[in-house]
Homo-oligomer: A and B are copies of this chain.
Amino acid sequence: MYFALTDEQRALAETVRALLADRFDLRAVRAVVDDERGDGHPADLWRAIGEQGWLSVCVPQEHGGLGLGLLDAQVIAREFGAGVVPGPWAATVLAGAAVRRDGSPEQAAAVLGPLGVGELVSTVALRGPGGGFGPGGIAVRADAAGRLDGAASGVEYAHVADVIVVAATEPNPPGVDAGGGSGRGSGGGVGLYLLERGEAGVRIERQAGIDGTTRLAALTLTGAPAARLPGSDAAALADLLRRGAVLAAADLVGVARAALARTVAYDTERVQFGRPVGSFQALAHHLADLHVAVTMAEHAVLYAAHALDENRPDADLAVAVAKSKANQAAGDATAAMVQYHGGIGYTWEHDTHFFYKRAKRLIAAFGDSRQHLEQIARLTVDTVS
């Protein structure tokens, strides 16, 4: 029984933290956030991330990657959350996971290498305007020739992505991949497509959002040519959503822990009524409850990432638990961060709102609590005999 990060994983976390402290602290984040017309994708940070190999964390070694698992990726995601780091890292990792799992050898060779070294920015476009995460929320159709029509909304960094993995419904579900015979899932009329930003029929428009640390864009596709990932099907989409949920949960857990730690630090110093605010019991007990919640969310993300890596039978449950617990912990911790900073916590010039808004966005990303809790009910209520 070893339920903890390895020494290597802890060292990785330390490295990420140190790099961010050194080269992309909250002042740098603020510069990105305040530059509202900018693309929100700081090139120097991206280079540094590429050099560190963090883009290739889940890229197989035969494509030059680190060949590690989601457990390792969540270490990075958590630190990026704690640093409210801008940029398409998570989007790129997810796109890579789809290509790795469902792409042809040629597609994998063409995408994974450049992606891993930072040459290709990528992202995933999985839902339409107003749609949820899942097959029902897709608003892009593919025709038999692989041309895509429709729209996707809230796509992270589509405006700077070279390659976009697009989920599309398919009129005639293609047979399970003839060559590979992966035998995954039952098809079901959903496929993943590799789309290049520069192709004809691709319109990308920036969308105004609440979280300045992460930029979003809408895709409008009119007969845009794209390459199907041959292994993809409904199960592939589900897998991508699971991974997305775990990375979002990890980011949230990082946000939550940082929000809590910064609040503790601030209220240890801040004096009201002649005492440090942190010595008032009502506040202290609330922060203690938040510590418990954040700790549980940290565990849950660890377990979910491991369960996916190891294909454990309770992986679906673990992912839903991790995302809903991370949602709750981060929502509560960032709201408390605003409240317990007093007036300053509500200002633009203080960093508090980066955490609060990033949490708001991520809580709904890759499934909100409503959706994950119903999933838990399906797995634990409907299965009781």
Contact = CB atoms under 8 A, between A and B. Distances in A.
A281 interface: yes
A348 interface: no
Contacts of A284: 282
Nearest to A288: B282
Contacts of A184: none
Interface string A24-45: 0000000000000000000000
A282 B280 CA distance: 8
A270 interface: no
A285 interface: yes
Interface in A281-319: 281-282, 284-285
A282 B285 CA distance: 7
Interface string A257-288: 00000000000000000000000111011000
Interface residues of A, number: 5
Question: How many identical subunits does the complex contain?
Answer: 2
Interface string A134-146: 0000000000000
Interface of A: 280-282, 284-285
A191 to B, nearest CB: 38
Contacts of A280: 281
A281 B285 CA distance: 9
6 contacts: A280-B281, A281-B281, A281-B282, A282-B282, A282-B284, A282-B285
A375 to B, nearest CB: 21
A383 to B, nearest CB: 23
Contacts of A281: 280-282
Contacts of A282: 281-282, 284-285
* Pairs of residues from A and B, 6 with the lowest C-beta to C-beta distance, nearest first: A281-B281, A282-B285, A281-B282, A282-B282, A280-B281, A282-B284
A284 B280 CA distance: 12
A284 B282 CA distance: 8
A265 B215 CA distance: 55
A280 B281 CA distance: 7
